[in-house]
Amino acid sequence: MRARLLAIDSNSIGLAANAVRRGFLIVFPTDTVYGLGCDPLNHAAVRRLFEAKGRESKAVPVLCASAGRAEELVKLGGRAAELAREYWPGALTIVAALRRPVPSQLTQGRDYLGVRVPAHSRCLELIAACGGWLTGTSANRSGRPSARSAGEAMDELGDSVDFVLDGGRLSGQESTVVKVVGGEVTILRTGPIGVGNEVEGRRTS
């Protein structure tokens, strides 16, 4: 069945959140690109997400309604906590050690998970309505460009999701990704936050 395309507002957020709680997939705008969302603790939903993406061997991050909700999933102490305070809400994904079990497909069997609090009020409203967590992989087939409009997301995934929430055209870049182990920060993907500066814990703008 083809996805329902709706402008993002309180009503459509409620409909989409209900779909997520029932184990379905949605597409939604973030502060970077459009995301493909499901309940990250629902094993069946995570399997469907990987099938929709055509992805086999890459971990999927989780968007969180707040730093507190992120800390329920991973251990954000020391340097990770400093980065979270400095850059959240914002375009920095922090990969940190798991605090609680999640579907192994989400982490590809590793003991680390990427988490982020986005700087987008409607996105945060949606995540909260979904229970505080929502997968945050880009809304595209694996290997394809990230969707920056609802139309692009519909073309990519319209037959695999229940709802596509339209938040207009996005001009964002995929988030910077860092892995934090103890006090050591490793850059896994460069992005909107300057490569040298997230290690130093300073904003570039």
Could you list the residue range(s) of the whole structural domain that residue 41 is in? 4-200
Residue 32 confidence (pLDDT) above 80? yes
Residue 1: pLDDT band by 50, 70, 90 thresholds?
A: confident
Q: What does the alpha-carbon distance between residue 126 and residue 80 come to, in Å, rounded to a whole number?
A: 25
Average pLDDT over residues 55-60: 86
pLDDT given at position 201: 42
The answer to whether residue 154 sits within a structural domain is yes
What is the arithmetic mean of pLDDT over 1-5?
93
CATH of the domain at 168: 3.90.870.10
Residue 117 placed within a domain: yes
Mean pLDDT of 178-203: 74
Question: Residue 149, SS3?
Answer: coil
Question: pLDDT tens across 41-52, in order?
Answer: 999 999 999 999
Q: Above 70 in pLDDT, residue 197?
A: no
Is 205 inside any structural domain?
A: no
Q: Domain count of the chain?
A: 1
Question: 88 in a domain, yes or no?
Answer: yes
Residue 26 counted as domain residue: yes
User: Which stretch of DSSP H or E encloses residue 107?
Assistant: helix 104-107
